[in-house]
Structure 1
């Protein structure tokens, strides 16, 4: 069972911050998951639509200007990481980089920026996993960049999961822990897709998912989750 660092090592550092992300490497985790918005002139790593909850600033992320991005500091005292910083940092490692798309103004601009940065920093695009709750983003990307792995995000347990898996090619289904059961895990596996579950840190839930055959989890404390899974493998 793979372990993804959810918004970086967010149990120990501010979520999606440069500090949380720069503590991620190939030791004790298999992947890094981040959230991405398009601003006026860039792509930034941030989860919420607004800066209010995390930074107490009444600004919408998609409206941030280049001046804003230069001036605003995160809870780690650093600037908000952008896509270029992320790709450059992650390039030397081997872990999977899961980019969850939150909000884009242009899918084409995102595709062009991502591919350009992968080339610039010699980032192996086979390590990318692009996911979103907005399935239209994924459908468009599947047409333009068919080699990329795509993850379908769901916060529901649908009546018939197969109806959601045939619109375009996907690699994995990312499910909310609150609505998962063994039947949906089995149904997705029957469609030859991976099952990843968010967000899981409790040992009992990790153990249940491990025994249910889930392919991976997103954890705020990835190294702790990694240790739990190693113990389950030994047991």
Structure 2
């Protein structure tokens, strides 16, 4: 691959080698070849932002019903996770979906994420994404210079791209099954980058790189580095 190969984005950290969304997974990502880390942000009962994919813990307790100090040590705060990522680019996926236990239409979690990034002055290497478009709309309203990404699974690519452009989001994050050469070309023509998820198959990595995606989210950044080469 050429020097402008896609970013290798470690999905929930180096999650094939270590437990996902943990400090050890984030710390290991760069050493395994990742350029960036993707992680999941949720709110707790006392307004903290923690990193966990599901709205419940494995024991069934709902995260938003617990204070931060009641969570297991394996669930880091967003601040701890960002520290563990070091100088890597970080994609913070805000979890705020209708139907989940912690859904909050007032977007307090978006406000807390923006505040944490602003306090660190790391906006230049931070992306904030969400499946719920009003959430990233709120992020963009609070921090217009922060890169926001529209995640989508249930919309076709052209419709999702039109939404992203209409609402000023600079990245589109489609599931890899939606990604076509035509979608990537249309996105780039509109000034929108395309990062796709979650890709662990080497042949698929090569195909997606060949049609110009800007980033590949993967559980195996070491495999991606072997396939795509150094940046």
TM over 0.5: yes
- State the partner residue of 1:143: 141
Match of 1:43 among 43, 46, 49: 49
1:4-153 map, 5 Å: 4-25=9-30, 28-41=33-46, 42-51=48-57, 55=58, 57-69=59-71, 72=72, 78-90=73-85, 92-93=86-87, 95-103=88-96, 105=104, 106-108=106-108, 110-112=110-112, 114-116=114-116, 118-119=118-119, 122-153=120-151
Alignment partner of 1:154 is 2:147:
no
Assess if the C-alpha contact under 8 Å between 2:158 and 2:183 holds in 1. no
- Work out the CA distance in 2 between the residues paired with 1:169 and 1:26: 34
Partner SS for 1:204: helix
Write out per-residue CA displacement over residues 129-169 of structure 1, whole angstroms, 9 at most, x where no aligned residue.
Answer: 00000100111111111010001101132454453133321
Separation of aligned partners in 2, 1:18 and 1:223: 18
Q: Which residue of 1 aligns with 2:99?
A: none
CA distance in 2, matches of 1:112, 1:159: 31
CA deviations over 1:12-52 (Å, ceiling 9, x no partner): 1111112211212376111000011111121110111222x
Equivalent pair of 2:128/2:147 in contact (CA under 8 Å): yes
Deviations 1:170-213 (A, max 9, x none): 12100101222222222212211101110001111001001111
Give structure 1 regions of 4+ aligned residues with deviation exceeding 6 angstroms.
Answer: none
Aligned residues: 217
More displaced 10-residue stretch of structure 1: 219-228 or 18-27: 18-27
Preserved contact between residue 153 and residue 174 of structure 1 (Cα < 8 Å): yes
Distance 1:147 1:47 in 2: 26
Q: Which moved more, 1:159-168 or 1:185-194?
A: 159-168
**Per the alignment, in what secondary structure is the counterpart of residue 166 of structure 2?**
coil
Separation in 1 of the partners of 2:207 and 2:161?
24
Deviation at 1:230, TM superposition (A): 1.2
- TM (norm. structure 2) is 0.85
Counterpart CA distance in 2 for 1:222 and 1:185 is 22
RMSD: 2.2
